[in-house]
Amino acid sequence: MFDLTMDDQNITPDLETMRNEALLGLREDANALRQKYLGGVHPERVTGYILKDLFGGFWSLSDGLPDDNPVKTALEAFVATGKKGFEIEAAFTDEEAIDLRDEALGKSMALFLINQAIEGFERAANTALIQATNETELETAKTQETAFRAQAVKQINEIIAGQ
Is residue 127 one of the residues assigned to a domain? yes
Domain count for the chain, please give it: 1
pLDDT of res. 12: 54
Is residue 23 one of the residues assigned to a domain? yes
Domain membership of residue 97 as a residue range: 15-31+43-161
Burial environment of residue 113 by CB neighbours within 10 A (0 to 12, 13 to 18, 19 or more): middle
Q: What is the pLDDT of residues 148-157, one digit of tens each?
A: 999 999 999 9
Average pLDDT estimate for 105-117: 91
Is residue 37 one of the residues assigned to a domain? no
pLDDT of res. 4: 44
Q: What is the pLDDT of residues 15-68, one digit of tens each?
A: 889 999 999 999 999 999 999 998 877 777 778 888 898 889 889 988 888 989
CA-to-CA dists, residue 89 to 83, 93, 97, angstroms: 10, 6, 7
pLDDT above 50 for 136: yes
Cα four-point dihedral sign 24, 147, 13, 7: negative
Is residue 139 one of the residues assigned to a domain? yes
Is residue 36 one of the residues assigned to a domain? no
